[in-house]
Amino acid sequence: MATMSAENNRPIGVFDSGVGGLTVWRQIAALLPNESTLYVADSINCPYGPKSAREIETLATGITEFLLAEGAKAIVVACNTASAAALSALRAKFDVPFIGMEPAVKPAARATRTGHVGVLATTGTLRGELFHHTRETYANHVTVHTQVAHGLVDAVERGALSGAETDALLAEYLSPLVAARVDQIVLGCTHYPFLMPQMRRFLGDGITLIDPAEAVARQVRRVLDARSARADGASVRHRFFSTGNTASMQTLLAHIAVPNAVIAPLQWDGNILRRQ
């Protein structure tokens, strides 16, 4: 019994190309308060969007190996681009449950009244098989308008959640979706929910923003329950790691009410992720 408890109390690993996956992490922490977590932000290689699928798979493999070495019992790929490029390969290579991201086109297609749905995402997500499969399966009866949002990930990585530059980018990328009469906009990158207050100011009340983070957290709960792998909450601990600027990550953690988090720096040694 003690052995099973110790096994169940291993942490959930979460990773992203940077700090964006914290929007998923906070939903997991809220829904599963008894669970410990490990979070890796690969900010030195952010953004993943322009990278090739092979590059992303190599990075995701290195991060996964680090998380498993730290004891992760399940891994959340809290990055739409990495999920599109690497999730299948990770599942084939590692004997641990993976929970990935996919643009929330299905609920958007169900909810739309105008028949027009917007997807704001990176190039890597929009060119991925996962997005095309989801759109063809659940949204073939509506018009899906896609918008690549260059620069928004970088703005969030810098902690620039507001200001003239960020507002100008949002206006540039949201205006075509408004003109297309969308009434649902899917946030297809985990960085974007940090910008929802600014997006809502621009869009007003007539357009719904869809953040899949809560659905991902519920899927994590389902996976743990299916394996009888829930922690008992006896010693909850959240650990954060970054390959890049820990100061901006600290700012965003404070923004989501984790004010005194300690962030351990990591560095890449070839394809191996190590503590500094």
DSSP one-letter string for the chain: -HHHHHHHTSPEEEEESSSTTHHHHHHHHHH-TT--EEEEE-GGG---TTS-HHHHHHHHHHHHHHHHHTT-SEEEE--HHHHHHHHHHHHHH-SS-EE-----HHHHHHH-SSSEEEEEE-HHHHTSHHHHHHHHHH-TTSEEEEEE-TTHHHHHHTT--SSHHHHHHHHHHHHHHHHTT-SEEEEESTTGGGGHHHHHHHHTTSSEEE-THHHHHHHHHHHHHHTT----STT--EEEEESS-HHHHHHHHHHTT-TT--EEEEEEETTEEEE-
Q: Which of 101, 120, 152, 189 is catalytic?
A: 189
Is residue 189 annotated as a catalytic residue, yes or no? yes
Q: Which of 28, 38, 79, 104 is catalytic?
A: 79
Q: Which residues are catalytic?
A: 79, 189
